[in-house]
Every structure is written in structure tokens, then in C-alpha cells.
Amino acid sequence: MGDKVSRAYSEARIKLINDYLESNLIRFEKSCSQRFEPLIEAMRYSLEGGGKRLRPILTLSAAEALGLNPVDVLPAACALEYIHTYSLIHDDLPALDDDDTRRGKPSNHKRFGEAVAILTGDALLTEAFGQVLLLGESQKFQPAQILGVMDLLVHHSGVRGMVGGQLLDVTIDTSDSSLPEIEFIHIHKTGALILASVLIPTKLMPLEEEKVQSFRRYGEAIGLAFQISDDLLDSETSIRYSRGPRKKPKPCYTQVMSPSEMKQKLNLLIDHAISSIRSLGDKSQNLIDIAEFIRTRKA
């Protein structure tokens, strides 16, 4: 797929996701007391903060690779973006990363106050699982398949995944971090939700285990590669590209690897991800394009 076609695909998918996210915010506004409007405003502020929509795009792309209609899996894609956004809001709080900005704007707690920011994250996390239940509206999926998606999200976003990784990220002594420790943290803190994004469609149709494992290998590789690319971007400037100067030391690849070693590892992971799903043929092209984007991204 050429760059122009790839960009057009991404732009179309981002619009589809953004339109769906906005329709849900409007639904909340219509169904909630007007007294809750400040909470919905804070949800909208962070959801519309300029993210790449990587996780929902991965879900739609994996669905298409398996022959599913991406529109039918939009509720699950939205759930992923809700969970990701809640995690960023909470990450930025003073008790965790203490970041004043996010994507060039004041962090949610700087804009609305810490109490509202905490509740905004709580609301997004809770509503994410309501979104998963909306997979039933298309009548394309069986209840057991939808419960499989729910179980997958719980596993990868909770104590066994993203939240567990976040615990280590804020409690580990960074002065003696080793490569295995840093990788363990990032496999969970960043990689788990990216892996879930790729695996969700595999829960929505009967698949042989070999094909599921191909998607798993792809998701694991790009999840780790994405964090390495983040650390590479941060190493190239004194101010982190999305959040300004760091106030607290955090475990990162630059502590244990040189930039050239990081780039080499990044390339190996991307190559592994692509080789894992090449057997899908043309259907794998959008997933390959996402992997190549992670390899070369500048922001």
C-alpha cells in the first residue's frame, strides 16, 4: 500500500472512530442530568486531545484482516480508547507522573482540578465496559464472544496488565533498573492494551489457534516497539514530545541501551511483527502499515 493510500485509510478510520466517540458523548448528554455536564465536558476534553487512535485503529484493522465489518466492532474500539484515555488522565496526576501538559494542552487535572480528573478517568473506565456490551446491537456476535472480549479487556487493562505495569512504573527504584525489569514494566504498562487491541477481533469469530497466535505475536511485538519508539523520541529532545519536561525519574530504555541499540531492537521487533501476519496475504497490509508507522514515526 502506498503512503497516500495508507494515509487516506488512517484518516478515514480516525474520522469513523472520532464520529463514534462524539455520538457517545452526545448520548451521555441526552441521557444524563444536566448537573453532570462538567464531567462530560472533561471526558470530551481528553478524548478530543489529539491522540493517534492507534489502539482502535489496530482493532478495526485486525477485524478487517479477519473479514469482519469494522463498523460492527466500533464499540470495542471505543472501549479501548476510553481505557487508554482514562489511563493518561490518571498518569498525569501529581501522585503518579505529575505532568502539567498532555499533547500540547493542560492536563485534565490542570484544566478541571484533580477531583474532576479522577472522576473523569473513573467514568471512562466504567463506560468502557458498557461499550463492550454494545457489541450485541449488531446481532452479529454471540453472547459468549462478547464475554470473551470483556474478559480480554479485564485481563490486559487490570492488575495483570496495564495497571500492574503502572504500579511498577511508579514504585521501582530507577537507579538500578535492568533491561529485563524495564521490559517487564513496558510489556504490561504499554504493551498489554496494544496487544488487547489486536486480539479483540479474534474473540469475535471461530479461529484456529495458530492464527490467533499469529495475531498475538504481532501485538506483542508492536506493543514493545511502540514504547521503544516513545523512549527514542524522548531521548532526542530535552522536552518530551507529548508532555513537556519530566518531573519524576521513570524507568526507560535509555537507561540501559544506547539510541543505536534501541533502533536495532525496534527494527527487529517490527520485522518480527510483520513476518507474524504475512500469511494473511493482502488482508494484512493495514497491519503492516501500522507496524511501519511505528518504525518511522516522528511524533
- The x, y and z cell numbers of residue 279, run together, are 500469511
pLDDT for 50 equals: 76
pTM for this structure?
0.94
Alpha helices in the chain (DSSP H): 3-31, 37-47, 54-65, 74-91, 108-112, 114-133, 143-157, 162-171, 179-189, 191-199, 209-235, 259-277, 285-296
Mean pLDDT score across all residues of the chain: 92
pLDDT for 187 equals: 96
Judged by average pLDDT, the poorest of 90-94, 97-101, 179-183, 249-253 is: 249-253
In the 8-state DSSP scheme, what is residue 157? H
Average pLDDT over residues 29-55: 94
pLDDT at 61 over 80: yes
In the 8-state DSSP scheme, what is residue 283? G
| Residues contacting 79, CB < 8 A, separation 6+ | 128, 129, 131, 132, 153
* Residue 167: CB atoms within 10 Å: 14
Contact 287, 61 (CB under 8 A): yes
Contact 161, 155 (CB under 8 A): yes
pLDDT at 246 over 70: no
CATH number at residue 156: 1.10.600.10
Q: ∠ at Cα 72 (277, 212), nearest 5°?
A: 25
- The x, y and z cell numbers of residue 238, run together, are 530535552
DSSP collapsed to 3 states, 73-89: HHHHHHHHHHHHHHHHH
**Half-sphere exposure for 39 (CA within 13 Å, toward CB):** 17
pLDDT at 59 over 60: yes
Task: Give the pLDDT band (50/70/90) at residue 238.
Answer: low
pLDDT for 239 equals: 53
Contact 221, 228 (CB under 8 A): no
Residue closest to 56 by CA, chosen among 31, 33, 74: 74
Average pLDDT over residues 182-199: 96
pLDDT for 132 equals: 97
Q: How many domains does the chain have?
A: 1
pLDDT at 240 over 60: no
pLDDT for 4 equals: 60
Judged by average pLDDT, the poorest of 116-130, 170-184, 197-211, 229-243 is: 229-243
Q: Which residues constitute the domain of residue 43? A: 3-296
